[in-house]
Chain A
Amino acid sequence: MLSFFPKPLIRGGVHADEHKAATAALPIAYNFPLPKKLYIPLQQHVGKPAEPLIMVGEKVLKGQLLAYSQGLISAPVHAPSSGVILDVNDYPAPHPSALPIRTIVLETDGKDEWLETQVAADPFQLNPEEISLRVGAAGIVGLGGATFPTAVKLNMGRENHVDTLIINGSECEPYLCCDDRLMQERAGEIIDGVRLMLYGMETEHAVVAIEDNKPEAYLAMRAAAEPYASIKVIQIPTRYPMGWDRQLIRYVTGKEVPVGCRSSEIGVTIHNVGTAHAVHKAIRHGHPLLSRVVTVAGGAVKRPMNVEVPFGTLISELFDFCEVSLDETARIVMGGPMMGDSLPHTALPTVKATSGILALTQSELKNTDEQPCIRCASCVSVCPAGLRPLDMANNIRINQLDAAVDLGLKDCISCGCCSYICPSNIPLVQYFKYASGEVIARQQAQHKSEQTKRLIDARNARMERIAQQQREEEEARLAAKAERERLKAEQEALA
């Protein structure tokens, strides 16, 4: 294709205050006390919720399957520790609404007794399909936050003959540094996970991309990848949202994923470093995904740290461990401060998607004092997707949702750059999330209205048929009666 200017490799983005110094220097804490009760939601991933196969009162061991995956895109859930099943019921979900979600409650016995599992002595002797099967059975999902089942992605990579595997170690969100610490401390295991993924996808090359604000992680990963020619470790510029998969793919390969396609269709698959580590644990040790490293940070946290916690741990217990002052906390955020969502309280469990829990003070939060848009177009220049947030928001404000869709509402990735940069403090991302939900709701309403019409027509047709039938029966009855009378009259006449 002829082009006067080469396509820029990085578009938009912001350079936010990192706030990583407090936690990035501390080693990951593995001494989190096992909670008495774990609240394990049955849906911690994209796709269908898992279906429980245990009974209330049943005793389970650590790593035992609690709920199996349903359908093509789903993931199973395992017991993070040994204990007794107390309940399978609705409990608040770690979601901004805290609405109920089906949850297994496990009372731990403190023994942390593992279920015995068998592992392959040399996984590279296994069938490549077997790797994705085991990854799927271990309940591994994308740990960068998207929680897409990893096994499905490995299969798509193999089926599409993907030539490059990108390992996303950018961790571009401020505050979060769990991946940074993991790369520094577990580089060898991550690289092993990458090799297993390459083998499982039958792919030649892997590129580990790490933002250049993590030099220690870069050096550790490069040293670990040294023996393997197929794995390249590179540094990428520090700029949010560098970790957006499509931005990273363009930066690393120069290719752009067309709208409506998966990256595997252009020969690239992208996984998070945490996912690679989970793959290593699943294949080499037979350990399903039971816990993850969570960054607990924010101005209200007295002991900010990266800590490994079992899934189902209530945020309140995590906050006690990290000495969070709830009085100073103005907002609890799950995930990073750019894309994460607020949580209304702390009686919510940590799940596979929980990369961080932030307790932010009022002074850390963005001012919510909204002012009129001055059309400064900062949002246009920072948008990595090439949208015009100000025009979209103006249309949504006056309920012109179709116009917003035409402007590219569906291409918005909710990265938060526009909200971050807006000098008028306009909650742009919330406008877009509202509008996206409203568009779906209206489609559903229209669908329902069509269905209603169909049902009414069907009912009317049935009523008509029944009436017709009754008429015919009545006529037949009358005819029969007339016939009988005629015969009777004839007989009488004969007699």
Chain B
Amino acid sequence: MYVLSAIVSLTLLGLFLGLLLGIAAKYLKVESSPIVDELESLLPGSQCGQCGFPGCRPAAEALAEGNAPATICPPGGSALAEQIAALLGLDLDLSDVKEPELLVARVSEDTCTGCTRCFKVCPTDAIVGAPKQIHAVVADACIACKKCVDVCPTECLQMHPVEVTLRNWRWAKPVALFKESEASNAVC
């Protein structure tokens, strides 16, 4: 008898609460703005394709569907990854993410013919120059999409790592307490 009443009352309670939840979900629904648009507005919008998707919109769609990690965008770096993770409510573990080496395009003045092909493809207008004149890259505006490298007929445009100077030198993070190497060949 006790067992029966327990089963009945708990079942009723469950049904009632489930009904409440269902009603709440229907009537108190929060209108969420289209997440893909928000994601796209965060991404640089240069359609550089470094993420492996054809452009920023497809990348945003993949992010919204959960098919891409928050760290998808190399030009955005960890700052953007954090914003994406915050927007999607993801737990972001940057500790395993290796910061990609920062690159910048540079024109080799010996071989540049002034063909203007590179600055036509540059999405951020980071290459300046005029026809038949040697071009130059504005390093601050370069996003390392490598489009100019692909079109340069004389291979005078190359990607170089961003030079470390006293201005952008930073203290390194102290190394983690326990290294993996210790774990693999532990001897008591």
Direct contact of A and B (CB under 8 A): yes
Q: Footprint of B on A, CB under 8 Å?
A: 93, 95, 97, 99-101, 370-372, 396-399, 426-427, 430-431, 433-434, 436-438, 440-443, 445-446, 448-449, 451-453, 455-459
Q: How far is the CB of B85 from chain A (nearest CB, A)?
A: 11
Whether A459 contacts B174 in the complex (CB less than 8 A), given A442-B79, A445-B77, A449-B80, comes out as no
CA distance A446 to B171 in the complex (A): 20
Name A452's contact: one of B82, B143, B171 (CB within 8 Å): B143
CA distance A427 to B176 in the complex (A): 11
* Cross-chain contact A434 with B172 (CB below 8 angstroms): yes
* Cross-chain contact A452 with B46 (CB below 8 angstroms): yes
CA distance A433 to B174 in the complex (A): 10
B173 in contact (CB, < 8 A): yes
Q: How far is the CB of B82 from chain A (nearest CB, A)?
A: 8
* Cross-chain contact A93 with B166 (CB below 8 angstroms): yes
* Cross-chain contact A455 with B172 (CB below 8 angstroms): no
Whether A370 contacts B44 in the complex (CB less than 8 A), given A434-B170, A434-B171, comes out as no
Given the complex, which residues of B lie within 8 Å of A99, measured CB to CB?
164-166, 169
B114 in contact (CB, < 8 A): no
* Cross-chain contact B75 with A434 (CB below 8 angstroms): no
* Cross-chain contact A455 with B125 (CB below 8 angstroms): yes
* Cross-chain contact B169 with A456 (CB below 8 angstroms): no
Q: Is the interface of A mostly helix, strand, loop or mixed?
A: helix
* Cross-chain contact A458 with B125 (CB below 8 angstroms): yes
Name A446's contact: one of B46, B79, B174, B176 (CB within 8 Å): B79
From 142 to 169 in chain B, residues with beta carbon under 8 angstroms from any chain A beta carbon are 143, 164-166, 168-169
Q: How far is the CB of A439 from chain B (nearest CB, A)?
A: 10
CA distance A399 to B81 in the complex (A): 12
Q: How far is the CB of A414 from chain B (nearest CB, A)?
A: 10
* Cross-chain contact A438 with B44 (CB below 8 angstroms): no
Whether A453 contacts B45 in the complex (CB less than 8 A), given A97-B169, A459-B125, comes out as yes
* Cross-chain contact B44 with A101 (CB below 8 angstroms): no
Given the complex, which residues of A lie within 8 Å of B94, measured CB to CB?
399
Q: How many contacting A-B pairs (Cβ < 8 A)?
A: 88
* Cross-chain contact A431 with B125 (CB below 8 angstroms): no
Q: How far is the CB of B65 from chain A (nearest CB, A)?
A: 23
Given the complex, which residues of B lie within 8 Å of A433, measured CB to CB?
171
Given the complex, which residues of B lie within 8 Å of A436, measured CB to CB?
171
B95 in contact (CB, < 8 A): yes
* Cross-chain contact A452 with B141 (CB below 8 angstroms): yes
Q: How far is the CB of A334 from chain B (nearest CB, A)?
A: 15
Given the complex, which residues of B lie within 8 Å of A370, measured CB to CB?
174, 177
Whether A445 contacts B79 in the complex (CB less than 8 A), given A95-B166, A453-B45, comes out as yes
Whether A459 contacts B124 in the complex (CB less than 8 A), given A446-B79, A449-B44, comes out as yes
* Cross-chain contact B123 with A431 (CB below 8 angstroms): no
B180 in contact (CB, < 8 A): no
B58 in contact (CB, < 8 A): no
Whether A434 contacts B141 in the complex (CB less than 8 A), given A398-B95, A456-B45, comes out as no
Whether A372 contacts B140 in the complex (CB less than 8 A), given A95-B166, A398-B95, comes out as no
Name B166's contact: one of A97, A448, A452, A456 (CB within 8 Å): A97
Given the complex, which residues of B lie within 8 Å of A437, measured CB to CB?
170-171
* Cross-chain contact B44 with A372 (CB below 8 angstroms): no
Given the complex, which residues of A lie within 8 Å of B173, measured CB to CB?
396, 431, 434, 438
Which partner residue on chain A sits nearest B86 by CB separation?
A402
Given the complex, which residues of B lie within 8 Å of A453, measured CB to CB?
44-45
* Cross-chain contact A372 with B172 (CB below 8 angstroms): no
* Cross-chain contact A449 with B76 (CB below 8 angstroms): yes
Given the complex, which residues of A lie within 8 Å of B116, measured CB to CB?
none
**Lowest 9 A-B CB distances belong to which pairs?**
A437-B170, A433-B171, A442-B79, A455-B124, A445-B79, A434-B171, A399-B94, A434-B173, A427-B174
Name B79's contact: one of A397, A434, A449 (CB within 8 Å): A449
* Cross-chain contact A451 with B141 (CB below 8 angstroms): yes
Q: What are 20 A-B interface contacts by the 8 Å CB criterion?
A: A93-B166, A97-B166, A99-B166, A99-B169, A101-B166, A370-B177, A396-B173, A434-B173, A441-B168, A442-B78, A442-B82, A449-B75, A449-B76, A451-B140, A451-B141, A452-B44, A452-B143, A455-B125, A456-B46, A458-B125
Q: A445-B79, A449-B79 are in contact. List 7 more A-B contacts (CB 8 A).
A: A397-B176, A442-B77, A442-B78, A442-B82, A452-B143, A456-B124, A459-B123
Which partner residue on chain B sits nearest A450 by CB separation?
B44
* Cross-chain contact B95 with A430 (CB below 8 angstroms): no
Given the complex, which residues of B lie within 8 Å of A430, measured CB to CB?
171-172, 174
